Amino acid sequence: MTTKTDIPKAQMTDAELRATRENLGMPIRELAQVLNVPEDSLTSMEHGNIPVGYDIAVKLRKVEQVTDDYLDRLSDESQKRGFIETYRFNAEMAARVPELSSFGSMWHRNCALRVQYEINLPMRYPPRAQRIVI
């Protein structure tokens, strides 16, 4: 089976970069961190001020593949659980899914919504930690 990482595009347009980032549900700051590029460079690429490098296109395809793999995992876990768990904050996600913590909670909520379209289960946050009021 061919995956997105098998066939990186030799060239990616500024519009494709932005559309892919938005489809992933990632703010530009978060994607820049995941791709290990300066945020202002990624912004310049999205605005068409500098070309999207081949290395960025390859890394972005890998992020898409990680996302696709996680969608499968989230779907399987959610069907077993009976609901889709998602997270309010990055720290909450990092505690529950540490291997993907750099992707952030907004990315996760996007994944959860995509899974919900497929399996039609309710989406829930984990219970909030008890706060002690003195």
Residue 18 CA to residue 60 CA, distance in Å, equals 11
- Per residue in 86-127, pLDDT (tens digit) is 999 999 999 999 999 999 999 999 999 999 999 999 999 998
Q: What angle do CA 102, 106, 110 make, to 5 degrees?
A: 115
Contacts of 112 (CB under 8 A, 6+ apart): 74, 84, 85, 86, 123
Domain 14-124 bears CATH identifier 1.10.3100.10: yes
Contacts of 29 (CB under 8 A, 6+ apart): 39
- Per residue in 42-62, pLDDT (tens digit) is 999 999 999 999 999 999 999
Indicate the pTM of the whole model. Answer: 0.85
